[in-house]
Amino acid sequence: MTGEVETTALGPMDVRRVMAALPHRYPMLLVDRVVTLVPNQSIHAIKAVSVNEPFFQGHFPTRPIMPGVLIVEAMAQAAGVLAVESMNLADSGKLVYFMSIDGAKFRSPVEPGCLLDLHVESTQTRGSVCKFSGKAMIDGKLAAEANFVAMISDPPKA
């Protein structure tokens, strides 16, 4: 490679390809598919929010709302797919560790039946540490946003 940045968009990617990039499984897998992914740049992923999500049993039984921390987790998982696919690490066993969250803001509730559009951009990569900016949208309206940092590493030894 001559230092060129790959800009060919990938996608769509189904949940099997998402699971090849991420170690998460039900009930913690919060990315259902990828619409587009531009390596080293951006990802547009989808989380279909179903009334059957286990967190809705307690948050809140009379008015189910997706917890904000899980919306940020969904954005972080989309960022994980972006990082792993950009570095050709799918099925490598590498893990993406959440390191920090900054500037998280929640603009509107996420309820069952929503398609949560996750838009994440890579803002900086230095070695195995990656910085991202993410937005979660519903029908083109901002639901949440955050900046976050993650690190790609081997899993801990048993």
Positions marked catalytic: 59
Output the 3-class SS for the chain.
CCCCCCCCCECCECHHHHHHHCCCCCCCCCCCEEEEEECCCEEEEEEECCCCCHHHHCCCCCCCCCCHHHHHHHHHHHHHHHHHHHCCCCCCCCEEEEEEEEEEEECCCCCCCCEEEEEEEEEEEECCEEEEEEEEEECCEEEEEEEEEEEEECCCCC
